[in-house]
Amino acid sequence: MCSATDMAVLAGGNPEVCFSKYGSYPVRGKYCHEMALRILLACIESHAIRHKRYIVPVISVHMDFYIRVFVRIFTSASTVKTSPLKISHVYQCVGCNSFHLQNVGRINSKDKRNVALPNFCPTVPQECCECGHKFVMGGPIWSDPIHDKEWATSILSNVQAMSGAYPAYAKISAVLTSVSQELVNAPLFVSLHSLCATLKCTNPTMAMFHSALRNAGYQISGSHVDPLALKTDAPMSVIWDIMRCWVKLHPVKSRPGADPSNRILSQEPKLQASFSQATGGLVARKSPRFVPNPEKYWGPKAKAGRPLKTPHMDNCEFRFTANTLEAGDRTSISK
């Protein structure tokens, strides 16, 4: 088990500090907390392979205001050589926030030894195909699954059977339920609100967006990190085509200047999205995936050892009037 509480560093607030501590550059985005998990896993893997060991994540969660990962450690000099296939760089557009991943290594299909070779040049062009802006590069991050879904489902069943033995049963059940429903082959995620904010359009419902992707033949799920997260195996071009179809049904005004939405909406969608209800879509959940905070104004407290500031009488202002004071009180105050 490994925990990290310096979320300001891992989430992109101080990228140069993150690189010095974890050997990776974070990218500011809606998925910053999941990226923090993957940066931590990549850091553990980089230390393990130096000793001919490799990791297999069991469960990785972001909860409250920290991240925590549970991994198994195995020893195998041959498996360590495939580590570049589990690590990827992230390319994120500065205009529309589209992101693309590329593995550090690749497998030569003609070589039967399955030796990892250096990957080719970046798969993204100099400018984003959707909005025409440039990309920034982050990483390297862990791009393999961060959960063992079978383990999470098994533990969830055991916890539900002994719900009375856990004081924090609601929180444990919520996290395990979300983890057991996540797509394991979809690193990072997109935010529906972020997509609509880029196009300045109204939001489709989560059920409608889920149905549009399922009708197009792709998988989609939520994430335990963010209630509005959309994890999918669909490429960004398909996601933007669905949003173009949505804007055609709900037109928006043209934006002045070089706004990313102008370039995105000027292209005709190659996919005709269907927002009709798809089989296997969102269903009513019997247990919540996110629980409210335990108390009002709940959050990180002051650093340990730091003295708390208490109000002093010197800082308080008192106002007296002659009509409200007795004669004796006036004499004592004047003295």
Residues 99 and 87 in one domain: yes
- Measured over the CA atoms of residue 197, residue 201, residue 202 and residue 208, the dihedral's sign is negative
Three-point CA angle 181, 61, 155, nearest 5°: 60
Across-strand partners of 25? Answer: 139
**Percent of the chain with pLDDT strictly greater than 90:** 67
In a domain, 296, yes or no: no
Pairing of strands 105-107, 53-63: unpaired
Residues 23 and 64 in one domain: yes
Residues 240 and 133 in one domain: no
Residue at a domain's end among 257, 273, 291:
291
Residue at a domain's end among 181, 204, 224:
181
Burial bucket for residue 262 (CB in 10 Å: 0-12, 13-18, 19+)? middle
Return the SS3 of 206: helix
In a domain, 311, yes or no: no
Q: What is the pLDDT of residues 27-45, one digit of tens each?
A: 999 999 999 999 999 999 9
Three-point CA angle 137, 138, 141, nearest 5°: 140
In a domain, 304, yes or no: no
In a domain, 308, yes or no: no
Count of domains in the chain?
3
Q: Which residues contact 301 (CB under 8 A, 6 or more apart)?
A: none
Pairing of strands 53-63, 66-75: antiparallel
CATH code (residue 273): 3.30.56.70
In a domain, 157, yes or no: yes
Please report the pLDDT score of residue 281 as a whole number: 58
In a domain, 318, yes or no: no
User: 38 with 143: CB under 8 angstroms?
Assistant: yes
Give the confidence band of 280 by pLDDT, cuts at 50, 70, 90: low
Residues 264 and 164 in one domain: no
Q: Rounded distance, CA 223 to CA 150, Å? A: 17
Residues 142 and 212 in one domain: no
Residues 74 and 173 in one domain: no
Half-sphere exposure of 236 (CA within 13 A, CB side): 21
Average pLDDT over the chain reads 87
Residue at a domain's end among 137, 157, 181:
181
CATH code (residue 94): 3.40.50.150
Q: Rounded distance, CA 43 to CA 144, Å? A: 14
Could you identify the residue written with the tokens 């693309």?
A: 100
In a domain, 4, yes or no: yes
Residues 283 and 211 in one domain: yes
Q: What is the pLDDT of residues 101-128, one digit of tens each?
A: 999 999 887 777 777 888 988 888 999 9
Residues 121 and 4 in one domain: yes
Residues 139 and 157 in one domain: no
Closest CA to 129 of 273, 270, 275: 270
Q: How many CB atoms lie within 10 A of CB 314?
A: 5
Residues 76 and 138 in one domain: yes
In a domain, 256, yes or no: yes
Residues 109 and 217 in one domain: no
Please report the pLDDT score of residue 326 as a whole number: 46
Q: List strands edge to edge, sheet with 99-103.
A: 99-103, 87-93, 135-142
Please report the pLDDT score of residue 284 as a whole number: 47
Give the domain range for residue 154.
149-181
Both tokens of residue 237? 């071009």
Residues 103 and 196 in one domain: no
Q: Evaluate if residue 168 carries a pLDDT over 90.
A: no
Closest CA to 168 of 65, 66, 70, 63: 63
User: 93 with 68: CB under 8 angstroms?
Assistant: no
Could you identify the residue written with the tokens 């990827």?
A: 88
Q: Rounded distance, CA 269 to CA 279, Å? A: 24
Q: Evaluate if residue 333 carries a pLDDT over 80.
A: no
Three-state SS letters, 60-78: EEEECCEEEEEEEEEECHH
- pTM, two decimals, is 0.85
Please report the pLDDT score of residue 12 as a whole number: 92
